[in-house]
Amino acid sequence: MTDHFFKKVVSELKEATENNDHPFRYFTLGTTGITKTPRLRTVVLREVSDELKFTIYTDKRSRKVTHIKEHNEVCLLFYKHDELLQLKIEGIAYLEEDKEKIARVWKSISEKSRKDYITSKEPGTKIDNPDNVEYLENTNHFTIMYIKAKKLEYLQLKRPNHIRLQFNRESTKDWQSSFMVP
Ligand SMILES: Cc1cc2nc3c(=O)[nH]c(=O)nc-3n(C[C@H](O)[C@H](O)[C@H](O)COP(=O)(O)O)c2cc1C
């Protein structure tokens, strides 16, 4: 009975990787690092697999990368306003290690978008004027981050009954699901 919801989640997420207007295209990634203070930021969903492995692109000097190296457990939050549908995902984050794969993906990124990964100074460095950002010419700090989901919570607000379900997966085993009191 819960299969339908899981399939809907995967299908909507996949659609968001191809459609910039889909509300799941942008999601909130929460990390903690060693300080235990949660840090949230919006990122773009680049890919998602049937097993709920998420892919994002980032700068390897960014705080989120430092955080996941310190503590690899992260949370993702997606929200689809027209259906009042929220997805909360807990997972394990890690970076792509295959340099050739990173180089291949880098080649596919447009010149305009590459600027996000080639600032001379580290992201977050203080500057006097937003127009005074310098860019590197022959090198980049692009990397690929993956998040492997181990828990998914689906919540849809609707009348007469809200729908709340949890899907859990231990290691490579199948997803276990149950409805919950909303
Ligand atoms: C609409 C939007 C999309 C964004 N997409 C990404 C992204 O895909 N990857 C990324 O690293 N940062 C992205 N950012 C910037 C992050 O939200 C964040 O400010 C930046 O990565 C620095 O975060 P950190 O210091 O916590 O690592 C995006 C911001 C906005 C507003």
Residue nearest to atom 30 of ligand 1 (CA): 42
- Does 10 contact ligand 1 (Cβ within 6 A)? no
Per cent of the chain over pLDDT 90 is 93
Q: Residue 29: pLDDT band by 50, 70, 90 thresholds?
A: very high
Out of 2.30.110.10, 3.30.70.100, 2.60.40.350, 2.30.29.30, select the CATH number for domain 3-123+130-180.
Answer: 2.30.110.10
Determine the pLDDT at residue 1: 78
3-state secondary structure 94-155: EECCCHHHHHHHHHCCCHHHHHHHCECCCCCCCCCCCCCCCECCCCCCEEEEEEEEEEEEEE
Distance 180 CA to ligand 1 centre (A): 32
pLDDT digits (tens, 9 = 90+) for 33-76: 898 899 999 999 999 999 999 999 999 999 999 999 999 999 99
Per cent of the chain over pLDDT 70 is 99
The tally of CA atoms less than 13 A away on the side-chain side of residue 53 is 10
Mean pLDDT of the chain: 96
pLDDT digits (tens, 9 = 90+) for 74-112: 999 999 999 999 999 999 999 999 999 999 999 999 999
Domain limits, the chain: 3-123+130-180
DSSP sequence for 33-50 = TTS---EEEEEE--EE-T
Determine the pLDDT at residue 173: 73
Determine the pLDDT at residue 170: 80
The radius of gyration of the chain's CA atoms, rounded to the nearest angstrom, is 18
Q: Which of 21, 28, 43, 105 to mutate to test the pocket of ligand 1 (most atoms within 8 A of CB)?
A: 43
- Does 41 contact ligand 1 (Cβ within 6 A)? yes
Determine the pLDDT at residue 171: 72
Determine the pLDDT at residue 172: 66
* Model-wide pTM > 0.85: yes
- Does 9 contact ligand 1 (Cβ within 6 A)? no
Distance 177 CA to ligand 1 centre (A): 32
